[in-house]
Amino acid sequence: MTDAASDSGPRPGSEPKTPAASDSGPRPGSEPKTPAAARLVVDCRPLIDGPDRFLAVRRALAVDAAASSVARVRGAAVEVDLRIEAAVGGFVVHGRIDGAWAGECRRCLEEVSGPLEAPVREVFEASPAEGETWPVADDRIDLAPMAREAAMLALPLAPLCSPDCPGPEPDRFPTGPASSASAGDPDPGPGRDPRWAALDRLVFDS
C-alpha cells in the first residue's frame, strides 16, 4: 500500500497508477491535497530485469518531523516528483520536492510562509557512504528519509515577511523583560536580574 510503484512498474513516460497521482497535481508552493504516505518504498527490480528505463514516483509524503527552530513544513507533507534510474552499483534518483513552509519572521515575529522547493539528485547503493548516499535493500529503496532530509534542508534559515521588514514593533511585540514594576514590585532595585521578579511576586502575594 505504501509502495509507490507497483511490482510491474509504470511504463516509461507514464504516470504511476497511485491514488496520489492526480491529473493536475498540486501547484508549486501549495500544500499537498492527497493523503501523505509515511514511507516511499520502491521495488526497483523492473529497472534491472525489465525493459523500464526509469520509474516515476509522484505522490504526497508525510514529513511530520521536518522543522527547524524557525520554520516548519506546512501541512507536514510535501509532494515528491522523482525518477529512479539504474546506475552502476545502484540507482540514481532525481527530480524535485514541492511544498510550503511556515514560520516566524526573524525581525517582527509575524507568521510568514512561502513555497518550499528542493531539487533532488541522490544516489542509492548497497553500501552507502554515510551522509552521502542512501541504502538499497533487496533491490528496494525507501525514498522517504531522503525526501524528508531534502525538505529539512530547504527550510529557510532566517525567514523574513518582506526584505524591508522594519523589525519589531515595541508596542505590539515587547521584547524587554516583563515589567515587574506593574506586577506589585514598585522598585526591584538596580542591577537585579528581572528573572527574580516572578519569585518576588510569589513571596508578596502569599
Residues that bind Zn ion (CB under 5 A): 105, 107-108, 161, 165
Q: How near is the Cβ of 105 to Zn ion at its closest, in Å?
A: 3
Report the alpha-carbon distance of residue 193 to residue 28 in Å, rounded: 49
Angle among Cα 97, 103, 107 to the nearest 5 degrees reads: 130
Q: How near is the Cβ of 157 to Zn ion at its closest, in Å?
A: 15
CB 144 within 8 A of CB 66: no
Q: Which residue has the cell 513552509?
A: 101
Report the residue number, 5 or 105, with the smaller CB distance to Zn ion.
Answer: 105
Q: How near is the Cβ of 175 to Zn ion at its closest, in Å?
A: 14
Report the alpha-carbon distance of residue 62 to residue 34 in Å, rounded: 10
Report the residue number, 168 or 188, with the smaller CB distance to Zn ion.
Answer: 168
Q: How near is the Cβ of 164 to Zn ion at its closest, in Å?
A: 9
Report the residue number, 13 or 170, with the smaller CB distance to Zn ion.
Answer: 170
Report the residue number, 161 or 183, with the smaller CB distance to Zn ion.
Answer: 161
Report the residue number, 100 or 105, with the smaller CB distance to Zn ion.
Answer: 105
Encoded amino acid at 26, one letter: P
Report the alpha-carbon distance of residue 95 to residue 158 in Å, rounded: 26
Query: All 3 cell numbers of residue 53?
Result: 528505463
Q: How many CB atoms lie within 10 A of CB 44?
A: 23
Q: How near is the Cβ of 114 to Zn ion at its closest, in Å?
A: 13
